[in-house]
Structures are given as C-alpha cells and as structure tokens.
Structure 1
C-alpha cells in the first residue's frame, strides 16, 4: 500500500522488504516520521514522538546476509542493538527457540521473502568497549575487513528473537508465458535461488533453481556454465546484487524494478518488464543476428569479388603490378611495364575513381539496406518461438541440435561466400577479357558495369521481404552509375557504351555470373525449405 505520510523518509530505505515493512507499520499506527544518517523519529498510535540517535550502522553484505544498527533512545538513554537478516544467518545468533525454523519453512512454501529480526540491550560500558575496539579495527592497516567483522560478531551473540516477517514479492505480469516462450525457443532457464551449484544438472535439465546466492556466487555460476558447456549465456536481473552476474554473462539484461536501476545501468539491454524479454530475444535478437550476418557477408563479398578480378587481370598480364581499378592513393605517374603500357595507358588515369566509387556511391546503399530485411513478421516470430532454434549451431558432443543445421554466420557460410566471390569475380574478368575487341578501355567499361549490376542483383536475390527503402537504394545506386557515365564521358568510350554490342556483352556476363547461383538457391529452397518459408506458405 502506498504511504500516506512520511513519504520522504522512505527515500532513505533500499529494497522491497524494507519499504513494505515501513508501510505495514504505518498501517497499524506506527509511522516513520524522519530518518537521516544520525537520527530517526517514530510516531506512536497515541501521537507520541519517539526520537532515537543512531550510533552505529552495519550495512548488509552478501557474505553476512544480515544488517544491524545501534540506537539510543533519547527519552530513556537505553542503548539497543537491532539486527535483521536471512533465517540461515540469524538462526545461529539468536537464543534457542523451537518455532523459527518451522515458521520460516511455512512462509517459504507460500513464496514469501522472510526476514528474522532480533535485538540485544547494551549497557553504556558495553557500548564504550565495543566502540573502542570497533574504531581500532577500522584504523588497522592489515586485515582491516576481517578485524572489523570480528568486532561486530562479538555483539551477535544470544540475541533476543523479536519477530519473523514475510513479504510477498509478486511476479510481474506474463512471467510464466515468457518463460514458456524462451523454453520453446530452445533457451535453458536457470533461476538462481538454491545454494548448490550442479553443473551436470544444469547441462541436462531444462531449468535449474539456485537460491540464497551472493553476487559473487551468481557470477561464478555464470562462469561455470560458460566453461563447462561452451555456450553463450544471458543473465537477467533487477537488483544491485545481480550486477556481477550480468557483467559476467555474454549478454546482460537489466530490469528496472523497485530496487533501483543498478542492474539496468550495468546491463547491455534494459527493459521495464520481464515480459519484454521474450520479444527482445525471439524478435529483435533473431532479426539482428540474421541481418548482421547478411550485411557482413555482403561486405566481404563486395571486397573479395573485386580482388578476384584484380588477381585474374594480373595473371593474364604475367603478374605485372598494374591495378585494374586504381584507388585515390595510386594516382600518379605511370608505373606500367613497357609491354603493358601500350594497352593500359589508353585508359585515363582518372579511372582511379572507379574502385572508390564502387564501394561507396554505387553499392553502399543496397548493401546496407539489408538491415531492413526480415524473413518473418514480428508477430509470427512471437507466435512461433521455435524459429529461434534455427540459430543454434549443431554440437553433437553436447547433444545440442539445430533444426536445420545451423547458424547464418559460420565457417561454412564464410566458405560458401568465398567460393561465390571467386566464381563471380572470375566470370566477370574472364568474360570482359574474352568479349572486348580492339580497345582495352572496353575491358574496364564492360567489367565494371557488369560488376555493379552483379552486386545489385545479388542484393535483390538475397532479400526475403522487400521494403520500399530497399527498392529506392537499388534504383538510386543504378541511377548514380548511369548518371556518372555522362559526367565521365572523357574516361569511357561513350560511343561504345551506347551500342547494342556493349549492352549484350554486359548482360551476358552478368547473367552467367548470377543465374547459376539463383538456380541453386531456388533448388535448395524447394528441396530443403527453411522453417520460416513453411510458415509463410
């Protein structure tokens, strides 16, 4: 229930249980009026104000799993040490009782977050002795942390058990459907709520639960899974104690919750609700992976195909150091050999613009437009999370199988694109050398025009769902090349470009370089269609 009074005092509290307890005490008449670093004020149901002076505070740590405070009642001058923490940590410091363990178990079975509260009255002499030892420990140069912890533990003995609290930590909406979606997508879920770390169990079971783990232990579990399975891990958390785990994982997702934004600030991705994780992974994650794979493969193909053409060109002319399409940095005096100079120097030196424009103006927009491609609609990816399994690499040694054998970017796909680049580069260069007639400048015009058309057609054949910006990118690139021919008429044989001979030669080379690949792609889709094509059909 939201606080009606003392709302400013709640800003000094951290964590859901603390806020819930303060709000509950207010509902029964005991209100927290003010809380700062040195004092605290409470209002009783009768309206009396109780003022306490805060003498010492002992913050929560993942190792001790408890926190405490020493206060002095201003009206009675009584000094009291209060402590609260997890039942496993408090059961050893409170006086013997026969109900704590049973009641903790009952609350835990109801899904409540339990806290044990205890106190110990201190005399002035006891507190002065503690304060002296505590200050000396904090001034120690060696083993300061251990000495401070030992002094504090001297107070944690035979404490009076006050109460056991249980706070309901409700799940966010659609948590169960989201977990089912991730399971259907082939992702294994590990909820960290149990003490023991069973790596074998984590590898064999679809879900593993670990509890009462500190930040270091959570990060250690993530590293164990990475080392023993070799798989990518994704850590999801909403609190400050999840930061180490999130940073240790390959991918960290932070949820902005009531316990602050530490997790979301330390994570790679931040969401407001747990239910958004499903869409983040099966829609955006899947699309981002496939688009990045296509983009990287085309960037590699764009550079390798022109390198193949250069290699073929150099081999024909006895490996002379003559570039086919010169770059900006290679503009200068002629460096051709005597045998080749009579051929090459007929091509003006400003053809150095070609290779640079090929990678920027002529082919950049279509290649980068692949980031807009999608094989299925987001609604379909959410409805069939099994499509995410297509991204899984086949690993027989771990018993992990991808549905269609693999990832969009792997050594296999890299080799395929290398072979495609070599094939197309060889066809383009050999075709231009075979079909040109008397002028060597025709080789540059034929090969470069066929190269531009081949790259544009390859992008078009790869697209699965056309976006209007993709069509604009294709037409814009083709228009830029045609327009540049008019501006570079002194660098091309314009009368030859306007002839039917030039058109059919360029068309023939382009068809030979692209048509076999299209036929192979068509046969593959017919004989072994991907999962998304089955859904679309």
Structure 2
C-alpha cells in the first residue's frame, strides 16, 4: 500500500499499480451502482450523493478480489462489452476491452487485453501458480521475485488459503494485430471453438512480468466436518478433488476432519510415469496395501472399509484404489491411510490426457470397480463430474446454478448430504425392496390362482370366470388390502 502513495516512478510502484488494476479489470464481475439513501437525514439536497456499488459475478473469489482492489482505491465503476471504467482514488480511468479469455480447466487462468488512453495495449493475466510460473519471462530479477513469491504461496497454502498469481505485459502492434485476427476467427468458429480460443490465448499469455499473488480464505460451511465423519463411519469412501495447491488441499482436509493426525499420508508427486509407478509401489509395500480391482477384493474391501480411508485432492487424484492387507507385516498397518496425489502426476498415472480430470476419476472408479459413485459439487467445473457419477448432487451456492441444473438431487448446503444418504437413502432402499417383493408375491398369487383353476374347471367355462371376477370386479379391494398384509407378514 505504501508503494501506491510514493511520489516515485520506479518499477515497484508501477508493478503495484498494475497489480491492483489487474484485480479490478481481469474478471467478469458486473458492478451495480445504487444510491445510498442512508446518508441523507432530513436534507433532500444530499440525497443520492453517496453511491454504493454491489458486485455481481459468477465466482465469489472474483467478487472478493474486486472488493479488495476497491478497498485499496481501485474501484470498478462500470463494465460493458467494449470498455470498463475504474475509479482510481477519485480519478476515472476508461479502458477499452479488446478481448477476454475466460478461465477454463485446461489453462487454469484468465486474461484480458485492454487499451489504455495513451494507446498502449497490455494483457492482464491471473491464474493458478502451476500454470502461471511456466509462462513468465526468464530474467535474473524475475527469478528472484519468483522464488520469493513461491515461498509466500507455500505459506498461504499451508494456512488453507486459495492462491492466485497475477502477471501482465505490453503488446506490440504486430502481436496485437496477429492476436486480433486469430481471436476474431476463433470467436466465430463453429467447430472446436474452445480449443481455438486456447491457442489464441497462448499467443499473448507468454513472457509475462510477475506482479504479485493473492490469497483468499474459503470458509467451510456449517456442519461439514460432522457430515464427513458420519459418512466415513457409515463405510462410505470420501474422495476430494480440488484444483487448489496441495498444501491448501491438505490444510482443508484437516479442517474438515477428512484427514486426521493419526493418518499415514501417502503423497505422490512424480514427474514421469516411471517415477509415479515407483512411488505408488513403494507406498503399497511400505504400508501393506494391495490393489483392489477384482470382485472378491471389492467385497473384502467393503468389509474393511471402516479401517481404511482414501483422500484425493486434485491437484490430488488417483488411478489406483488401495486396499489394506489383513496381515500385520508392518507396524503401521493399523493406522488409517490418506492417499494424496498431485495433479501433475495424474496424467502419468492415468496414461492419458484428460480434458476433465474430475470426470476422469469418476469414470475410472466406475470402470475398474463395482462400487456406486456419488459426486457432489457447486461450481461449473463440477458439471462433468456430476454427470459422470451414478448419482449427482448439486449445491446451490454463490457460484451459480450450473451444478444444480446438471444434478439428480439439489441441496442448499453440504451438511444435508448426511440426511440424504443415511436417512432418505436408507428409507428409499427399504421401500424399493418392499415394492419388489410385493410385486413378486402379488404376481405369483395371481398366476397360481389361474394355474390351479384351469385343470379343475376347464370343462365348465362359466365357473372359470371366478378368477377373472376376482381380478377385475373385486380386484381393487383385494390388491388394496394385500400391501398391508404383506407389511405385517414381513
């Protein structure tokens, strides 16, 4: 904050200015300006002088970043399809928006190309550190800043904060002309539009200058630890797939009681297929686990489900379902295990490149095991996972209703999943079982009546109408009473 108020034109002050400018401009948040009537008490002249701005966006993280920039004097005041207006400490700055590359799960970043009043063109980028550091310019000064930023990100992640990296660079006239031509073609393409837009974004998302990093606290909803503990006690395997850093995933796992202090954490961070395979093999040997991808092993794993746990954040995903051996070859066999796999290792483990890693994990479990899968999420990036699972549950939250529209069941909070599975799920299972047995015995009684009456009354056709009389005329009363008799009997 001190850098913004220094009367200097140094690189640090410019970087701080671009940092907050990126937070205010690189997003899809819509500012809604309203008059604040609470500021006027008895004076009609002062009515509407103070204006309140309410930010509406697809992601609560973007709203938090825009609000943070506003707190430091960079207030997003107006947004249209062609320009944005930012109030910088009382001075209005109008920026022309030449193009916007929205966030996607492949690039894991978003960027906006803007033109300043002095006709300079810049690209402002923010995204995950796993993809941002690889597109930074290679200079000695940048390397020093990069190392300091990495240490700060690690510290933030260990506290359970969600981190982003912010960068920018200037575009030359030739680069701008090339990008505009490709961007217009990709935006109007009817075939592979998403892939073409990613290729177009790669033209400007390179050789960036690192500006800084952000950290946002994502608080857990009420009742999440208790709900996860109840699901684990019921023998349900709980896997977490998240795009956060591994340190953030582990911290969140501890806060929601998915991970406990007595768990042995198996962390797989490999840079090649062979290295990942060796790490998995060593972990299985050291902790006494074996693959469970056969029907007999699945049955045995269900019986021992209370003693073993798997936790997979994404950046944390796995292709092997591990089962604890019954023997006591190692002293730490009795301790529960937590499997944590970094997202960079997932491509080597699955031996293929997945467009949607979350959906790929669900498909992996369905194809290699006989278990039923349930996926729950609240964002647009969870839609493919929800649709792939046997049962999809969408949470109606602040990130939109895409997950709810694609799900089988919708709920307001995660803690309601406990009652959905353990109460309503159990009742539904019991009622379906009763219904199947009822239909079986009803049809058996109906057919056997006809079967025994035919041999005795085949000669006298008028007497053979008796079963039909029961089925048609008196059938309503008979079949209405039979379910109650059935319930009492069973």
> How far did residue 14 of structure 1 move?
2.0
Q: Are the structure 2 counterparts of residues 346 and 245 from structure 1 closer, same or farther at C-alpha, using a change threshold of 3 Å?
A: closer
Alignment of 1:193-232 (within 5 A): 193-195=313-315, 197-202=317-322, 208-209=339-340, 216-232=356-372
The answer to whether residue 149 in structure 2 is matched with residue 149 in structure 1 is no
**Which sits farther off after the overlay, 119-128 or 211-220?**
211-220
Within 5 A, what are the aligned runs for 1:47-62?
Answer: 47-62=90-105
Give the count of matched residue pairs. Answer: 345
Please say if residues 188 and 207 of structure 1, whose CA atoms lie closer than 8 Å, have aligned partners that are also in contact.
Answer: no
3-state secondary structure, aligned to 1:92: helix
Q: 1:127 aligns with which of 168, 172, 176?
A: 176
Q: TM-score, normalised by structure 1?
A: 0.59
1:131 to 1:160, Cα distance in 2 relative to 1, 3 A: same
Distance in 2 (alpha carbons) for counterparts of 1:194 and 1:167? 18
Q: Assess, with a 3 A threshold, how the Cα gap between structure 1 residues 187 and 147 changes in structure 2: closer, same or farther.
A: closer
Verify the 8 A CA contact 1:233 1:250 in the aligned structure 2. Answer: yes
**Could you list the per-position Cα deviations for residues 286-319 of structure 1 after superposition, in whole angstroms to 9, with x for gaps in the alignment?**
01110111122112211111212322333x43xx
| Structure with the larger strand share | 2
2:124 alignment partner, SS class: strand
Tell me, yes or no, if structure 1 residue 352 matches structure 2 residue 463. Answer: no
Q: How does 1:402-421 map to 2 (within 5 A)?
A: none
Indicate how the Cα distance of structure 1 residues 64 and 195 shifts in structure 2: closer, same or farther if over 3 A, else same. Answer: same
In 2: Cα distance, 1:194 partner to 1:122 partner? 34
Whether the aligned pair in 1 keeps the contact of 2:108 and 2:128 (CA below 8 Å) is yes
Aligned residue runs from structure 1 range 66-85, under 5 A? 66-74=109-117, 76-85=118-127
Q: Is the 8 A contact 2:32 2:54 kept in 1?
A: no
Tell me, yes or no, if structure 1 residue 33 matches structure 2 residue 33: no
Shift of 1:139: 6.8
SS of residue matched to 1:41: strand
* Counterpart contact for 1:58–1:68, Cα < 8 Å: yes
CA distance in 1, matches of 2:400, 2:189: 34
Q: Which residue of 405, 416, 434 maps to 1:294?
A: 434
Within 5 Å, give how 1:327-338 maps onto structure 2. none
Alpha-carbon offset, residue 49 of structure 1: 0.9
TM-score by length of 2: 0.64
Q: Which of 149, 158, 162 is the aligned partner of 1:100?
A: 149
**RMSD of aligned alpha carbons:** 2.8
1:338-377 correspondence to structure 2 within 5 Å: 340-341=459-460, 344-345=461-462, 352-357=468-473, 359-364=475-480, 367=483
Alignment map for 1:127-526 (pairs within 5 Å): 127-136=176-185, 146=195, 148-192=197-241, 193-195=313-315, 197-202=317-322, 208-209=339-340, 216-314=356-454, 316-317=455-456, 340-341=459-460, 344-345=461-462, 352-357=468-473, 359-364=475-480, 367=483, 456-462=484-490
Residue of structure 2 equivalent to 1:86: 128
Matched with 1:113 is 162
Q: Any stretches of 5+ residues in structure 2 without a counterpart?
A: 1-30, 35-51, 242-312, 325-335, 347-353
State the distance in 1 between where 2:65 and 2:99 align: 21
Deviation at 1:38, TM superposition (A): 1.3
1:224 aligned counterpart, secondary structure: helix
Task: Please give the alpha-carbon distance, in whole angstroms, between the structure 2 residues aligned to 1:207 and 1:357.
Answer: 63
SS in 2 for 1:34: strand
Rounded to whole Å, the distance in 1 between the matches of 2:391 and 2:452 is 44
Distance 2:463 2:451 in 1: 21
* CA displacement at 1:126 relative to structure 2: 3.3
Which of structures 1 and 2 has the bigger CA Rg?
1
- Residues 224, 114 of structure 1: CA spacing in aligned structure 2 closer, same or farther, 3 A cutoff? same
Give the deviation of 1:148 after TM superposition: 4.5
Q: 1:172 to 1:141 in 2, by over 3 A?
A: closer
Q: Do 2:377 and 2:395's aligned partners in 1 also have CA atoms closer than 8 Å? A: yes
Cα separation, 2, equivalents of 1:145 and 1:200 = 31
Whether 2:59 is the aligned partner of 1:10: answer no
- SS in structure 2 opposite 1:180? helix
Partner Cα distance (1:206, 1:286) in 2? 28
For residues 180 and 223 of structure 1, what CA distance do their matches in structure 2 show?
25
8 A Cα contact 2:186 2:197, kept in partner: yes
Matches of 2:402 and 2:206, distance apart in 1: 34
1:251–1:209 Cα change, 3 Å: farther
Q: Is the 8 A contact 1:219 1:244 kept in 2?
A: yes
Cα deviation, 1:50-86, whole Å, max 9, x if unaligned, reads 1111001111121111111001123x22211101111
In 2, Cα distance between the equivalents of 1:218 and 1:252?
13
Alpha-carbon distance in structure 2 between the residues aligned to 1:33 and 1:137: 30
C-alpha contact (below 8 Å) 2:59/2:399 kept by paired residues = yes
Partners of 2:157 and 2:188 in 1: CA distance: 41
Greater mean deviation of Cα atoms: 294-303 or 79-88: 294-303
